[in-house]
Structure 1
Amino acid sequence: MKKWGLLLLVGLLAMFTIVACSGKDKASSSKDGSESSDGEVTLKFVHWVNEDVGKWEDVIAKYEAENPGVKVESMPLVENMNSRDYFKQLDLMASAGEEMDVIMFSNVNDLVKRIDAGLVEPITEFTKAEGIDINEVYNNSYPAYDGEYYGLPMKNITGLVMMNKAHLDEAGLDIPTEWTWDDYKEYAKKLTTDQHHGSYLHTWHELFSSLKLISKAENNMIVNEDGTSNAGDSMVSGSLELRNELENVEKSSVPFTEILSQKLDYRQQFFSQAASMVPIYSYMVTEWGQFTPEFEIAWAPWPKNSESDESTAPMGGDLVSIAKSSKHKQEAYDFMRWLTTEGIVEQGIWSPSWKDADVDKVLETMVNGTAKPDAVHMDSLKHALVSVKPTKTIAPPPYITEIYTEYGAEVELYLLGEQDLDTTMKNIEKKVQAIIDANQ
């Protein structure tokens, strides 16, 4: 695991948060109680969501108006809204010791990887001082890591399938209200024409090459909660078989070779109508990028592995954390609490994790704020979100990204036809165990 020595050194030696006057004329103090000058505090907020989508200026202006003496600088590190590219830039910033205060993460896996690297500050003492329990205040909260929490849940995103309703109508197919991955395969086959594929699965192997595994109600990661390997689970090989059948056997999903060679993207494939279905998360209700759909988007619940299974879906969402190097940790925490509660509701773009939010009202606001509200089939969207229960989540080990990197490399050899499934699974199990052993 890469360590950011310079960043950690700065975090250890830097003076802690300096007091700034709040909107209530009450002093704000840092962890060590030191007071600030009368100067203005500027919080550097790093993320990957551009202004067109995030509408940060308006929401930040509201916070600044309510908290004189605090300024928030929105810093999207990438232009393409790709969180993977964002994390590359974030790691470069961290290794260079660049200043930041609040960091956004797309999921707990990417957060945990950076805990041991010394990038983020525990927030448990802040929540205790405020007297809140994260699990009572937020949905999709995550387990503590070594007894500490390192971020506040922001979005509540749910796994679902977005579908081109015009393509469904042309094929004489109803919007699914409860279905399995076998049903998904049949839909993909019936939706495929000379003009478009029925399905698209992107290059994120922990999602698109693990569809059956992550659909399990529990034990749904490649490692178990106790740190042992779960690579031998039948749903791991089942996930690979599903993808291979869709792309290489039935040719009803965009072939992996094309995805790589043409550098295809799920937004481009779906909104250009080159693909009829994409299993994805509910952030796509509003995050269309530069596209405005020319068709109605239908939404189906996350498919089950078998008809007898309970309807569940992977749920998670973005988190926000305090940078270890921040000199304004209390102010950073205060901003995070507001952003993950009143702020995200005010923003009106994403479904919040905050339990006190009026979700129906938020959903209406979200859709009405898009470039084309009529493009969202509201009845199917609401059903896809409320008809499923969350799958169990765990705090993954910090080396989970290393495991998924090795997993993805073997998956690609399989999907590209360079090795068979048995060889692929043996290699996956061997490499996953080796990484676990190396980190004991």
Structure 2
Amino acid sequence: MTNNERIRRPISDRELERRWQEVRRLMKEKEVQLVFTQGNNVHLGGYVRWFTDIPAEYNFHMTVLFPVEEEMTLVRTSASPIPQWALRGVKEVMYAPFAPTLNYTAGEEMALIKNYIRKMKPDRIGYIGSGMITAGAMSALTEEFTDIEFVDITDEFDLIKALKSQEEMEFIRETARIQDLVWAALPAMIKPGMYEYQFRSQVMELLMNLGSEEHLLFVGTAEPGKACGLSTFQYANRRIKEGDYGILLMEVSGPGGYYCESARNFSFGEPYKEMADAWEVAKKGQQLTADLLTPGRDSGEIVQVYNQFVSDLGYSQEGRLYGHSQGYDLVERPAFMAYNHNGVETMKICAGMNCSLHPYLIDDVQTVYINDNYYVTENGAEKIHQTPPEIIIL
């Protein structure tokens, strides 16, 4: 077997080499001899796939050990072996029978990592993604290797990862194209009498047939004059009726595992006034903030402008994620968040980023959600999705 036989869209060897060179440049700058990171899922496990073009899956931890002078080593559960033909830039994969739900197996995983570090004998180790590395792994390593300095290089690495190459942007544009095709097919898929979960399953099937890899789909429907919200699968047992309106949010990756996300309101017949009015506000708010996607700008400033705009018109402000970058991860930095005590985004907007902007307005009588991706250039933002920013009339 080869990558091209089994993987619909493998990343090129040239792109992987580019990434490894960027990391080694950073390692030399930070004077670290080894970098390690972990991931355990596809939606928010992009550190692992960025290094290897191999996703972490099924909530099993996968550890990447990347030395400055040699090929990398991976640590993975023996319940999910990697085919030999899929390994590129990998010297060795060390397997052990561990699972996060079997606490007593954690020692086997850590023993492999510790033995590797003992053989490498680094003075300084850089780690990436303290939010992804398990607390058990971090404490085990720092307690075992008191003579080694552990250095957090996440901020510097996140910027490298956020700036997309030409090849990466080709994958991202394909993801957006697939989502646009679903919007074009939407009127043929959703009918009165269906349950929300049935509609959701039809969307997922089409996405998979078009080449999408992973799927987070949210659906909300309601009668006019009521908020519809956005439901996960567990709450999608509502039967859709004639005259309803609703929202579909697609947070899905395309071939190669790159994410975009897209959302539109739809309506059986002409939308009622409150929802239509809110949609126009959301659409204008999205365009207002898209115009601010320029290199060097602070993402928090963009959220402030949006919140002031919707607040002046009497609509709800955004206190959660208003937008963010995307790539192998559904949510990448920079994040567009209002100031909060949990932390402030320090990464500036840069040319080469793939940014999602998603105004979300909700009150007692309506819910609207518009979501599109934009590519940041030196001269501003280029919209990637081609679906018009309009309510889809059914």
Common fold by TM > 0.5: no
The structure whose residues are more often helix, as a share, is: 1
- Structure 2-normalised TM-score? 0.29
- Structure 1-normalised TM-score? 0.27
The structure whose residues are more often strand, as a share, is: 2
Q: Whose relative contact order is higher, 1 or 2, with alpha carbons under 8 Å and at least 6 apart?
A: 1
